[in-house]
Amino acid sequence: MKYFYDAIFYQPLLNALIFFYNTVAFQDLGLAIIFLTVLVRLVLFPVFQKSVRHQAVMQRLQPKLKKAQEEHKHDREKQTQAMMALYREHRVNPFSGFFLLLIQLPILIAVYQIFLNSLKPDFLAGLYSFVGAPPTISHFFLGLIDLGRPSILMVGLAAIAQYFQGKLALPKPEKGQEPTQAEQIGRRMVFIGPLITLGIFYNLPAAVSLYWIVTSAFSVLQQIIVNRQLAHGELGTPHKTTR
């Protein structure tokens, strides 16, 4: 199983990182990490975009779901039918978020392991024959930040990126309507998420924080696109019936 995982996920990403390091990154590990992160996000763009869309539509469906639950609170079967009808009407699958996470997980784990292993002596053991191994790997980003050590600056930037990502994902509150429990939790997570990021990344190498900054920036751009589509009624709109 480990051999399959290394062959499909870890080694291709490792070789891509070293290829970038040897070429367009000019032997700057930080730039190589940025190029690799952008490559991963471009490859997974359709999956991430679908995930962001799904989350956005589901958040905006919460008031209607709450109303359906209250209207049928004494009949669980009718409650389920009403909620499933809303999902079909707005073209969302309540289980798709879980499957989208499963698709992304192996690649994200491999990228994370590569950045942690970049500090170990046998880091280059999995290179392909056509990818040259550099004599040494400099852990500095732009000659300023040692990516092999924790950096409060990089952790702070990662937390800020996390905050903006969560802020953009929040639906605009409807006038005269109290936020649902899910919306309240989402608004708390806008602040809790960056704190969790600070706690997790505080003692990790700055390479991991750099990866998180770039991937969060990508998520912010995707969220902006989705929000514009929602504002123009291009996502999550009910099916139009023809007579």
Summarised one tens digit per residue, pLDDT across range 71-101 is 877 778 888 888 888 877 777 776 666 666 6
Which of helix, strand or coil describes residue 141?
strand
Q: Could you tell me if 59 and 182 are in contact, meaning their C-beta atoms sit under 8 angstroms apart?
A: yes
Higher pLDDT, 157 or 166: 157
- 155, pLDDT greater than 90: yes
Q: Shortest CA distance to 108 belongs to which of 188, 157, 51, 155?
A: 51
- 57, pLDDT greater than 50: yes
Higher pLDDT, 27 or 50: 27
Which of helix, strand or coil describes residue 235?
coil
Higher pLDDT, 179 or 114: 114
**Domain ranges across the chain:** 2-231
d(CA 206, CA 149): 6
pLDDT, tens only, 182-240: 667 777 888 888 998 899 888 888 888 998 899 889 888 888 887 787 677 655 555 45
Most confident of 53-67, 106-120, 213-227: 213-227
d(CA 147, CA 138): 9
Q: Could you tell me if 13 and 131 are in contact, meaning their C-beta atoms sit under 8 angstroms apart?
A: no
Instruction: State residue 92's pLDDT score.
Output: 73
d(CA 55, CA 160): 21
- 243, pLDDT greater than 50: no
pLDDT, tens only, 14-46: 999 999 999 999 899 899 999 999 998 888 888
Instruction: State residue 241's pLDDT score.
Output: 43
Higher pLDDT, 162 or 238: 162
Mean local confidence (pLDDT), 151-162: 92
d(CA 140, CA 119): 12
d(CA 52, CA 38): 17
Instruction: State residue 98's pLDDT score.
Output: 65
Helices (H), the chain: 2-5, 11-22, 29-43, 45-71, 76-89, 96-117, 152-169, 181-201, 206-231
Please, is 64 exposed, middle or buried when counting C-beta atoms within 10 Å of its C-beta (0-12, 13-18, 19+)?
A: middle
d(CA 192, CA 188): 6
